[in-house]
Amino acid sequence: MLEMFSLKGKVAVITGASRGLGRTMAKGLAAAGAHVVLIARDKAKLDAVSSEIAADGGASTVLPIDLSDERAIRTGVQSIAASLGRIDICVNNAGIINWQPVLESDLEEFDRTMDTNVKATFIMAQECAAVMRKGGEGGRIINIGSVLSTVGRAKLHAYCASKSAIVGLTRSLAAELGRENITANVIAPGYFVTDINASVTGREGYVEAVSGVTPMERWGEPQELVGTLIYLASGASSFVTGQVIHVDGGISSTFKFQLAA
Ligand code: NAP
């Protein structure tokens, strides 16, 4: 029964693996049996994650890439396909955020957010899907959205636009690649303490305010994404595609007043 969740013999590529949610998800993929390809810019941090995976008995390859560099992505994915012989799972997790009021925002920041969060996700998915199709055994594309894929947030217009775009992109990938037995789904995390929200978690009352509007009344632990990730990456989800799975303690589906009802 648990065999359907095994990733033994699979090659999984994951971006943003140097820290935060990606680091934990990469270790989860390795623990499930996959050979994990770790992508981000910071090679020293990727090496550290790779050592942690090895210490747990897993296997990984470090691939330092700046995802704003299209050529580097395409060459990197092709080098992995050549050296490891296959790509079965592509997890597009790397992402950036930028807080700017609408009337004071600049296009450079908007472009930078869209390029990292959306364009790189598309290029990664395109390259990996080509390798998956050639392999003839199908594959899994898992894109990391957000609770802000479905709701807006003041001062985060670029980030919200990028995370909504990831949902549209994923549904289109699902529509076109289904016949190749390649599925595409989104995991939409709620609030998890990582570097990405370090600028706001220090604000007095912020952490408590988020907990207050979350039905489970707390922030998530990165490890709590791993079960959904393994499900979507494995044979257990073989007929699931084009879906958005929220892992957010219920925040996206409820309207919770901080005062008790
Ligand atoms: P994080 O701790 O800031 O990590 C971001 C990761 O992305 C790092 O590994 C970083 O690696 C990589 N990255 C950023 N720009 C890159 C670039 N140009 N090229 C290559 N790698 C790049 O953020 P996180 O919280 O783990 O977030 C991971 C994903 O979850 C993001 O897509 C985020 O939007 C989403 N998410 C997070 C939360 C949350 O509460 N934490 C909630 C909803 C959604 P390097 O700096 O080494 O390149």
Q: Within a domain: residue 257?
A: no
**Which of 25, 36, 37, 41 is the pocket-test mutation for ligand 1 (most atoms within 8 Å of CB)?**
41
Kindly state the tokens that stand for 148: 């802000």
In CATH, what number is assigned to the domain containing residue 75? 3.40.50.720
| Tens digit of pLDDT at every position of the chain (261 positions) | 899 999 999 999 999 999 999 999 999 999 999 999 999 999 999 999 999 999 999 999 999 999 999 999 999 999 999 999 999 999 999 999 999 999 999 999 999 999 999 999 999 999 999 999 999 999 999 999 999 999 999 999 999 999 999 999 999 999 999 999 999 999 999 999 999 999 999 999 999 999 999 999 999 999 999 999 999 999 999 999 999 999 999 999 998 876 655
Residue 255, domain member (yes or no): no
What does the pLDDT read at residue 258?
64
| Long-range pairs, 79-82, Cβ under 8 A, ≥24 | 80/11, 80/13, 80/37, 81/131, 81/134
The domain tally of the chain equals: 1
In a domain, 258, yes or no: no
Atom of ligand 1 nearest to the CA of 68: 18
Q: What's the CA-to-centroid distance between 97 and ligand 1, angstroms?
A: 8
Please indicate, yes or no, if residue 94 is contained in any of the structural domains.
Answer: yes
Tokens of 69: 């560099």
Q: Which residues line ligand 1 (CB under 6 A)?
A: 15-16, 18-22, 40-42, 45, 65-68, 93-96, 116, 144, 146, 189, 191-192, 194-197
Q: Looking at the annotation, which residues are catalytic? A: 159
Q: How far is CA 150 from CA 102, 232, 234, 243, in A?
A: 19, 20, 26, 13
Domain housing 67: 2-248
